[in-house]
Amino acid sequence: MIDVARIREDFPILKRKVNNQPLVYFDNAATSQTPTCVIDAIVDYYARYNANIHRGVHALSQEATDAYEQARQKIQKHFNALHPHEIIFTSGTTNAINIVAAGYQALLVPGDELLVSAMEHHSNIVPWQMLCEKTGAKLKVIPMLPDGTLDLAAYKSLLTPNTRLVFVNHVSNALGTINPIESLIVEAHTVGAKILIDGAQAAPHIETDLQALDVDFYVTSAHKMCGPTGVGILYGKTDLLNALPPYQGGGEMIATVSFEKTTYADLPHKFEAGTPNIAGGIAFGAAIDYIHSIGLNHIAAYEQELLHYATDQLSQIPGLKIYGQAPHKTAVISFNIGEIHPYDIGTILDKMGIAVRTGQHCTQPIMDYYQIPGTVRASFSFYNTKEEIDRLVAAVKKAQMMLE
């Protein structure tokens, strides 16, 4: 069970007012809010042991290195990866996908096929298009269905012995759809393809066991799961990461350097050139601890309660259409009212202290599929309440009256 009143005490920002109204923060899919313990982890690093890592014999450097590597281990255990070195720190999901895409440039040949789902974030589309341009590989699209689920029959028929890679999100950021990644992974493997799952929207809500899934690559960002911005992870199976060339050259990613020949460091350092976001990595670990202190199963159950309550209330508004009606969803509601532009609704909600996201949500192909300019997206977290949803519903009704 979730004690929301107590949990809200952990998030100082929830006490503030916006436009003279108590803040209602429903833009959690864009970025989650940060609990005091995570803020403290950042402050503590800079106040007590700010130093570069893996470089110094001095005490501060060793303390920072230990804290950073402990965070890596926390993340490894949280996602049940086999080894800590399979967790590469990145600047976020986008960066993690680009590392894999850049690496495959050396491994693909013309005629190879890549499959991408129709409901991906631009971060999981554009790097693969760029890769295809460079290699002559072909990008094919797994279509979606009107309820916001993937066309699984089409997926099976698109898989061929030429399919090298498949890219699907665990959860759609625009629709909330939870994709059946277990079966998608098995199907990809039957033709010998590797699969990358974009977990940016799943990691804050769904327990994920990377070994049980047998997934090849999994990527996510800390800032969607109570951590700071500017840090995320690339998970990859050891042999796959070893097969990829390094992404960037520089300090810390080398074993030996000479003008004749440079050799690269072992995992994970091979992919971690330069000074990383040290405080961010440590704070990511603190965010994982915080989520464990509440329990992802409790978080998921409570967020489902909020989703059902809000879906029920919003559906009663005449003319309101919800995009994404998959049977399994996270707490994301994307909607429009008649022909009213989503920006206009979002602007009025903001005047009432309610933060939602409006527009295409970096998923233009989904908006094109529904032939809409965008949606209003309300995304809930475990620190939100039904009273806040009541305020959203009342505000949406008021916006409708003003704009229709």
Q: Is 150 in the site for ligand C6P (CB under 6 A)?
A: no
Task: Tell me whether residue 106 is exposed, middle or buried, using C-beta atoms within 10 angstroms of its C-beta: 0 to 12, 13 to 18, 19 or more.
Answer: exposed
CB 211 within 8 A of CB 83: no
* The only residue of 268, 357, 378, 392 in contact with ligand C6P, by rule CB under 6 A: 357
Number of residues that bind ligand C6P (CB under 6 A): 18
200 makes contact with ligand C6P (CB under 6 A): yes
Helix axes 36-48, 278-294, angle to 10 degrees: 150
The answer to whether residue 201 forms part of the interface with ligand C6P (CB under 6 A) is yes
Answer yes or no: 226 catalytic.
no
Quickly list H helices, 21-91. Answer: 36-48, 59-79
Q: How far is the CB of 180 from ligand C6P (least distance, A)?
A: 16
Find, among 349, 341, 325, 343, the residue nearest to 397 by Cα. 349
Closest approach of ligand C6P to the CB of residue 155, in Å? 18
Does 173 bind ligand C6P (CB under 6 A)? Our answer is yes
Contact 144, 366 (CB under 8 A): yes
Among 131-139, 288-296, 302-310, 355-363, the segment contacting ligand C6P (CB under 6 A): 355-363
Candidates 112, 187, 198, 216; binder of ligand C6P (CB under 6 A) is 198
The two tokens of residue 212 are 């049980």
- Residue 178's CB: how many other CB atoms inside 10 A? 20
363, 375 in Cβ contact below 8 A?
no
- 353 near ligand C6P (CB under 6 A): no
Burial group, residue 264, by CB count within 10 angstroms (0-12, 13-18, 19+): middle
Least separation, in Å, of the C-beta of 383 and ligand C6P?
Answer: 18
- Least distance CB 224 / ligand C6P (angstroms): 7
Asked if 47 and 219 count as a contact pair (C-beta separation under 8 A), the reply is no
Return the DSSP state at 338.
T
3-state class (DSSP) for residue 340: coil
From 36-44, 120-128, 287-295, 348-356, give the range in contact with ligand C6P by CB under 6 A: 120-128
Task: State in angstroms the smallest separation of the CB of 8 from ligand C6P.
Answer: 22
135 versus 172: smaller Cβ distance to ligand C6P: 172
Tokens of 236: 């990859």
Strand-pairing partners, residue 25, are: 355
> Residue 313 CB, nearest distance to ligand C6P (Å)?
23
Nearer to ligand C6P, 121 or 194 (CB): 121
Taking CB under 6 A as the criterion, which residues in 47-66 touch ligand C6P?
none
Tell me how far the alpha carbon of residue 281 is from its chain's centroid: 16
Tell me the HSE value of 324 on the side-chain side, using a 13 A CA sphere.
28
Site string for ligand C6P, 257-296 (x = CB under 6 A): ----------------------------------------
Which of 92, 176, 228, 276 lies at the binding interface for ligand C6P (CB under 6 A)?
A: 92
Kindly tell me which residue out of 30, 191, 322, 372 binds ligand C6P, with binding defined by CB under 6 A: 30
Residue 93 binds ligand C6P, judged by CB under 6 A: yes
- Other Cβ atoms within 10 Å of 389 Cβ, number: 23
* Catalytic residue positions, numbered: 362
Residues that bind ligand C6P (CB under 6 A): 29-30, 92-94, 121, 123-124, 169, 173, 198, 200-201, 221, 232, 357, 361-362
